[in-house]
Amino acid sequence: MANKIFKGLPSKAYTDQDFWNKECKSVFLNNWVFVGFAHELKNIGDVIPVTVADQPILLVKNSKQKILAYHNVCSHRCLILVDQPKNIKKIISCPYHAWSYDLDGNLLASPHFGGTNNHNPNGFNKKRNGLKSIRIKIWHDWIFININNKALPFDKYAATLIKQLKNINLKNIKAVATLDFGNISTNWKFLIENFIEPYHVQFVHKKTTSQPLRDHYTIVDGNCYGSGVDLKEEDSSSESLSVSSKYLSLFPNFIIGTYFPGQLGVYLNNPLKPGITFQKRIIYTTEGHNLNKNEINNQKNLWWKVHKEDHEICERLQLGRSSPVSKNGGLLSPHWENSVRAFHKTMIKSMKK
């Protein structure tokens, strides 16, 4: 069975609107979805709107320095409250009729709702008409939400990934650079699949890396999938990607890379449409390892090149799924793409819940 060749997901899993709608009602509701970085909400009143499963969500830093998540919708006429990241000070105010909420989601004002100067008409309960909260977990610098509240407690859900990262002190990481790639013209699953299989590295990244295929291995551990590479000779200069590394994912959309000696990369892959995914990468240093300004710029330039190589491939994967030849999903290597196979099996299982 270990050498059996499997087909990948059918083309419709990457291109079809009905399949996307089913994903939104299952995969993105049932699981812990990665939505942002805690360090980007620095101050009280900072807000970041995001879209998950076609739903508008709002991340908020409240007066107790706690990050909360709400449905980004006014209780009155269901208008989206915030349309861009900003600081709103102490009040979330609706631009339509000036209904306002505090940072804990409580409704503060519903001006003239019952008529001129009648702000609270009979039968209207302000306490029941605040913002609707969403289950949230801040894991180190990474923000996850579970919209339908059905996922396991996060520590159990992410147990295998946590185990894979046990040798890294995640309590002392430092964000040193951001790469904002914007919208990529590919389905979100292609970005995940590309990240967790090592088969492509020596072909796609031959100009930017030195990590021979023979030194790689795959990882399938619960709902954590990925690959790794162990090199006997490390080149840890900031201009090189010739280092021992692990490339890990947590279903559905969280991916993290660990790079010797003392660097992490975490990617926000935000699915927007069947063929559009927003991507951002944060580069971190870990405890005891620092980069100077020049080294940080070198790392940014290196990773930009590496990811643009990946993006080109993933966009071509997306285009390839328009052919009838690809209807049944193509083939998966039984050795190098078993992590992709495991990801696909979890996709199918999650959509059946």
Residue-wise pLDDT tens digits, 175-202? 999 999 999 999 999 999 999 999 988 8
Arithmetic mean of pLDDT, 18-41: 98
Does an H or E element contain 28, and which?
Answer: helix 27-30
Nearest 5°: phi and psi at 254? -95, 130
Helix, strand or coil, per DSSP, at residue 50? strand
Q: How far apart are CA 329 and CA 339, in angstroms?
A: 16
Helix, strand, coil in percent for the chain, rounding step 5: 30, 30, 40
* Whole-number pLDDT of residue 1: 43
Number of Cβ atoms within 10 Å of the Cβ of 21: 13
Q: What does the chain come to in residues?
A: 353
* Band of pLDDT at residue 108, cut at 50, 70 and 90: very high
List, in order of start, the domains of the chain with CATH numbers: 36-138 (2.102.10.10), 153-351 (3.90.380.10)
Residue-wise pLDDT tens digits, 227-239? 998 876 655 554 5
Cβ neighbours for 59, distance < 8 A, ≥ 6 positions apart: 35, 36, 41, 47, 48, 49, 50, 67, 68, 69, 143
Q: Are 220 and 159 in contact (CB under 8 A)?
A: no
